[in-house]
Structure 1
Amino acid sequence: MQIEHRPQDSCFLYQTGQAEARLDYRLLQSNGHDAVDFYHTFVPPELRGHGIAALLTEAALSWARQQQLQIHASCSYVARAL
């Protein structure tokens, strides 16, 4: 499965056919440091149960760590992965 990072849209995507799963984020400042808030994960019903949300989260967290961003998770799914 291929996860695509679209920084221009502030999201990570998985697409197949007409279905799209995504994890949305926003960049911000937290206590004077660059940070990211992962605030929404959505997997359409037809794609659920295949570990796509976990793959999106793994890719997003890996990217944030590589960028040395402080990580915030308003999304409960991402928060459980921290």
Structure 2
Amino acid sequence: MAHLTYEVVEHDGGYAYKVGDVFSESFPTHQQAHDAAAAAAERQRASGASEAIEYQDSTGTWHEEQTKGGDRPMTEVEDNLKD
């Protein structure tokens, strides 16, 4: 099973969360960024319907595949910042 970490960080004059190298929008407070990361992590774990998806990989190649609605990653929020 896949595992995703939502990391709360300082970003663009405020705070954001990131997964890998991808940042969320900026939030004015640390607490807002933490709450947004927790909500996003929870939504990522939610099961849904199986459906076809399309995505582009890092080389620019497009792929199509069928995803299983119950195949959701484990998620966590990592927040080492202090208020």
TM-score, normalised by the number of residues in structure 2 = 0.32
User: TM-score when scaled to structure 1?
Assistant: 0.32
The structure having more radius of gyration, on CA atoms, is: 2
Is the helix fraction higher in 1 or 2? 1
